[in-house]
A and B are shown apart, each in its own frame.
Chain A
Amino acid sequence: MTSSLSDVANAAAPRVPGTRALGTGLEARGVHAWFGSHHALADVSLDFAPGTVTALIGPSGCGKSTFIRTLNRMHEFIPSAAMAGEVLLDGKDVYAPGVDVTKIRLQIGMVFQKPNPFPSMTIGENVLSGLKLAQLKVDNKDDLLEECLERAGLWKEVKDRLGAHGGSLSGGQQQRLCIARALAVKPQVLLMDEPCSALDPGSTLRIEETIRHLSESMTIVIVTHNMQQAARVSDHTAFFLSDGGPGQMVEVAPTTEIFSRPKDKRTEDYVTGRFG
């Protein structure tokens, strides 16, 4: 059962030769996760090819968020957390001994469910906060600021008030500010944990456009409860499910296939709205 799952996973994301800008992608190999004695996620193997968008769908509590938090080592933020398996970034295990966890998080950025701009900083400072946090140097901060806001689709709206507080923006703008903030440290991979769940349809659409633009230059993993969203933005879709036990990945395939001809009965039930 599990071996057939990982076969599907490997088949679904054909490896393309890596480019320098995008790296050679991110691979999860047999990832398990625990919270204390609670086994939350079992044996997930999934490839994320460079320059692709992968959507993770599935009902609440199936381990999608836990899974993406193992990818950039945010899982260990929870005191009782444990994991097993390998996460390979450019072929190197991010959990290997001696790996600097802060460097991993610089390469694998993250956008959270609720927009969380830093309250003590202005819009401009928020975008560049990653550089200060990680003590990175850049030659031209203004160019970087404009580039990141432009890529996040926010530049036109805020270019005249970069000194205003991040909290003065609307929810959708705040989320795009958080995307711009994540872009400023130039990650290869961007993880998005239900980035639109707190936003209205208009803002959601803006963020989806942003995701499509970004996927030209980076690898994106997005957790979403909105199946239309998965269909709109992603190249591949992985379906996660927990049948009372730990969450598992049931199926991964190109998005059009998942929604038109799912191989697994449970996936079909979920994407057609028969449960979940």
Chain B
Amino acid sequence: MSTVKPISPWKATPKDRIRDLLILLATAGATYLLVEFTPLKGKLAYFLLFFALYALATGVLSFLKYGRMTAKDSAVKVIISAGALLTVLPIVSILATIIQKGYKGIKLSIFTNDMSLATPTDPLSNGGLLHAIVGTLLLVSVALVMSVPIGILTALYLTEIKGKFTKPIRFLVQAMSGVPSIVAGLFILSAVIYPITKANSGFMGSLALTILMIPTVARTSEEVLNLIPQDLREAGTALGGTQWRTVAMIVIPAARSGLITAVILGVARIAGETAPLLLLTGGGDRVNGNPFNDPMGSLPFYIWKSFNAGSEEAITRAWAGLLVLVVLVLILFTTARFLSTRKVAR
């Protein structure tokens, strides 16, 4: 009996691969010549021209081989891939620039010193951004403690209680997520600082961040809770649980990892907020562990202040601050991705 060898006749043969590679190279060559010998110039010209030519070439080839429908299909495939690449290009470019310019300012000493005895224009060996890291972590933590309960309770109202006000509340929460951060800052300034405290502090910044974080937490939690099958709620109720016991024992545990993701997305949303902090925190240069008294520094404030100082050292400081901030946010997003890829509910 002869053994049957598994094959995949629908996949590209080595011959096909060589042909595809040749098309790619020919397109690249043609792009180069066109950019060199025509008035078209710049990276963008290379990018767009390359994809236009590649779409054309694959389209024409498919047309000759299979006909019009397949030609359209392969041309569209190339255009869509180009769109996807065009989207990630700025992100990659931003990250590359930040790493390239920021790593020069990264020293161990900047994580152990604050700017109380240094000015942004001092050499990099003086001072550091410890106060800014401490400030950002405190501001975010206080905002987290305030906004997570409110956000998740709002989501529970929208998904579990479904009361009379569900529609207006959902609308307002969505509208709130579009509020510019400076508006949140001005609101706290005029509603709390001027009439009541009359002083900047970290807590004022946290209040503004809370306003910005609640809609993110509430909307993401709502989506996650909506994914929990209605079956489970019915099963809990049919076993003699009250609605609250069912939600607390079954719905929330089933949605737990998704709710964690909602919280982390909320934190990532506010970690880099600058405008309200400029208005409200006072931006101190000293490590300040008390959110209720005295100015409090933060990474965005540090970056803004250093850029404004203008000297070479100050600008390097700013880029280093940016790098630290981006790494912080990236860590949060990676954690969120990791937690959310584990199953939310079966």
Contact B232 A118, beta carbon cutoff 8 Å: yes
Spot the interface stretch: A55-63, A104-112, A230-238, A254-262: A104-112
Contact A134 B239, beta carbon cutoff 8 Å: yes
The answer to the question of B19 belonging to the interface, with a C-beta cut-off of 8 Å to chain A, is no
Which of A105, A167, A181 makes the CB contact (< 8 A) with B346? A167
Closest chain B residue, CB of each to CB of A187: B240
CB contact under 8 A between A182 and B256, given known A114-B231, A129-B249? no
Contact B245 A135, beta carbon cutoff 8 Å: yes
Which of A105, A118, A120 makes the CB contact (< 8 A) with B238? A105
Contact B234 A134, beta carbon cutoff 8 Å: no
For this complex, 19 residue pairs linking A to B, each with C-beta atoms less than 8 Å apart, are A72-B238, A74-B237, A79-B162, A102-B242, A105-B239, A106-B240, A116-B234, A116-B235, A118-B235, A118-B254, A120-B250, A120-B253, A120-B254, A129-B249, A130-B240, A134-B241, A181-B235, A182-B238, A182-B239
Contacts of A167 in B (CB 8 A): 346
Q: How far is the CB of B260 from chain A (nearest CB, A)?
A: 13
The answer to the question of A133 belonging to the interface, with a C-beta cut-off of 8 Å to chain B, is yes
Contact A112 B162, beta carbon cutoff 8 Å: no
Contacts of B236 in A (CB 8 A): 118, 129, 133
State in angstroms the CA–CA spacing of A207 and B229 once bound together.
24
CB contact under 8 A between A133 and B253, given known A116-B229, A116-B232, A178-B235? no
The answer to the question of A161 belonging to the interface, with a C-beta cut-off of 8 Å to chain B, is no
Contacts of B254 in A (CB 8 A): 118-120
Q: How far is the CB of A181 from chain B (nearest CB, A)?
A: 7
A211-234 CB mask vs B (1 if < 8 Å, else 0) is 000000000000000000000000
Which of B238, B240, B346 makes the CB contact (< 8 A) with A119? B346
Which of B241, B249, B250, B345 makes the CB contact (< 8 A) with A102? B241
Q: How far is the CB of B274 from chain A (nearest CB, A)?
A: 39
Contact B345 A119, beta carbon cutoff 8 Å: yes
A112-149 CB mask vs B (1 if < 8 Å, else 0) is 10101011110000000110111100000000000000
State in angstroms the CA–CA spacing of A28 and B237 once bound together.
21
State in angstroms the CA–CA spacing of A105 and B232 once bound together.
15
Q: How far is the CB of B234 from chain A (nearest CB, A)?
A: 6
8 closest Cβ pairs, A-B complex = A133-B241, A120-B253, A106-B240, A134-B240, A130-B239, A110-B238, A116-B231, A119-B346
CB contact under 8 A between A133 and B239, given known A119-B254, A119-B345? yes
Contact A112 B235, beta carbon cutoff 8 Å: yes
Contact B234 A133, beta carbon cutoff 8 Å: no
The answer to the question of A159 belonging to the interface, with a C-beta cut-off of 8 Å to chain B, is no
Q: How far is the CB of A107 from chain B (nearest CB, A)?
A: 9
Q: How far is the CB of A229 from chain B (nearest CB, A)?
A: 22
Contact A103 B253, beta carbon cutoff 8 Å: no
The answer to the question of B31 belonging to the interface, with a C-beta cut-off of 8 Å to chain A, is no
- Give the interface centre of A102, A109, A114, A167 by most chain B CB atoms within 10 Å: A102
CB contact under 8 A between A77 and B237, given known A116-B232, A118-B254, A167-B346? yes
Known: A116-B234, A116-B235, A118-B250. 11 other contacts (CB 8 A): A72-B238, A74-B237, A110-B235, A112-B238, A118-B253, A129-B236, A133-B245, A134-B239, A135-B245, A178-B235, A185-B239
Contacts of B242 in A (CB 8 A): 102
Contacts of B253 in A (CB 8 A): 118, 120-121
The answer to the question of B58 belonging to the interface, with a C-beta cut-off of 8 Å to chain A, is no
State in angstroms the CA–CA spacing of A215 and B221 once bound together.
43
The answer to the question of B147 belonging to the interface, with a C-beta cut-off of 8 Å to chain A, is no
Contact B256 A185, beta carbon cutoff 8 Å: no
Which of A109, A112, A121 makes the CB contact (< 8 A) with B234? A112
Within 8 A of A (CB), among B312-346: 345-346
Which of B231, B245, B250 makes the CB contact (< 8 A) with A112? B231
Within 8 A of A (CB), among B293-314: none
Contacts of B238 in A (CB 8 A): 72, 74, 105, 109-110, 112, 182
Q: How far is the CB of A240 from chain B (nearest CB, A)?
A: 21
Contacts of B345 in A (CB 8 A): 119
Contacts of B229 in A (CB 8 A): 116
The answer to the question of B136 belonging to the interface, with a C-beta cut-off of 8 Å to chain A, is no
Contact A105 B240, beta carbon cutoff 8 Å: yes
Q: How far is the CB of B264 from chain A (nearest CB, A)?
A: 20
Within 8 A of B (CB), among A136-191: 167, 178, 181-182, 185
State in angstroms the CA–CA spacing of A221 and B254 once bound together.
30
State in angstroms the CA–CA spacing of A79 and B231 once bound together.
16
Contacts of A118 in B (CB 8 A): 232, 235-236, 250, 253-254
Closest chain A residue, CB of each to CB of B230: A77
Q: How far is the CB of B170 from chain A (nearest CB, A)?
A: 16
Closest chain B residue, CB of each to CB of A136: B240
State in angstroms the CA–CA spacing of A110 and B240 once bound together.
10
State in angstroms the CA–CA spacing of A105 and B238 once bound together.
6
State in angstroms the CA–CA spacing of A133 and B239 once bound together.
7
A74-118 CB mask vs B (1 if < 8 Å, else 0) is 100101000000000000000000000011011001101010101
B234-274 CB mask vs A (1 if < 8 Å, else 0) is 11111111100110011001101000000000000000000
